[in-house]
Chains A and B, each alone.
Chain A
Amino acid sequence: EVQLVESGGGLVQPGGSLRLSCAASGFSFSGFWMAWVRQAPGKGLEWVANIKEDGSQKYYVDSVRGRFTISRDNAKNSLYLQMNSLRVEDTAVYYCATHSEYKFEYWGQGTLVTVSS
Chain B
Amino acid sequence: QSALTQPASVSGSPGQSITISCTGTNRDVGGFNYVSWYQQHPGKAPKLMIYEVSNRPSGVSNRFSGSKSGNTASLTISGLQAEDEADYYCTSYTNSGIHWVFGGGTKLTVL
Residues of chain A touching chain B, judged by Cβ–Cβ distance below 8 Å, are 35, 37, 44-47, 50, 59, 61-62, 95, 101-105, 107-110
Contact = CB atoms under 8 A, between A and B. Distances in A.
Contacts of B103: 44
A104 B45 contact: no
Given A44-B105, A62-B98, A103 B46 contact: no
Contacts of B47: 107
A3 to B, nearest CB: 12
Interface in B64-106: 89, 91, 93, 97-105
B45 A50 contact: no
B7 interface: no
Contacts of B44: 109
8 contacts: A35-B100, A37-B46, A44-B102, A44-B104, A61-B99, A95-B46, A108-B45, A110-B45
